[in-house]
Amino acid sequence: MSLVERANAVKELFEQVDRLWESYVAEVRRSLREWERLRPLLAERLSVLKSVIASNLEEMQELSLKLELGLVDEAKAKRRLEELNAETPRLVRELEELWVLTERIVRDSILHMRRAGMPIDVSEEDIAGKEKEVEECFKASIISKEAFEKLKEILAEQLAALKPPSPD
């Protein structure tokens, strides 16, 4: 193969890389548009789940206390406690699954925006606020220790993704 042929082959490789890069950037934009449509729906569901779980936990605590003090009908209180004990773990699992998935998508969106040279729509302050919320939900027994640790790990990854890449 002549030198000219080899040089043309390398030129074609770079042209192919350019086409692939353009395709990548277009797919990142498409993915981010879809994420922007989905994000408010997820945020609303997460908010509802947190509220319902907190309410259920509070009601369970109140009913247990009233039952202990003999202030409520025992059969009704036990029935309601059984309902809450069945519903709450299911809601907690849904919350944890959605919350972890949401934060993973945020992490991935940061990484792809950075790679594609797009402005990043998440700040360190946003992540700090999420860290505080995760801590509060754990302390209120709304999420499990495992979910708490997983969310903290993902939020740390988000923070790391915000940092500019170090020069090699």
pLDDT at 168: 67
The segments of the chain whose pLDDT lies below 70 read 168
- Taking only Cα atoms into account, the Rg of the chain, rounded to an integer number of angstroms, comes to 25
Residues whose CB is less than 8 angstroms from the CB of residue 28 and which lie 6 or more positions away in sequence, other chains included: 112, 113, 115, 116, 118
pLDDT at 12: 97
What tens digit of pLDDT does each residue of 76-98 get?
A: 999 999 999 999 999 999 999 99
Residues whose CB is less than 8 angstroms from the CB of residue 36 and which lie 6 or more positions away in sequence, other chains included: none
pLDDT at 72: 92
Tokens of 100: 């972890």
What tens digit of pLDDT does each residue of 131-150 get?
A: 999 999 999 999 999 999 99
Tokens of 94: 């849904």
Spatial CA neighbour of 163 closest among 133, 124, 125 = 124
Tokens of 111: 């990484």
pLDDT at 164: 80
- Containing 14, the helix (H) or strand (E) segment is helix 3-69
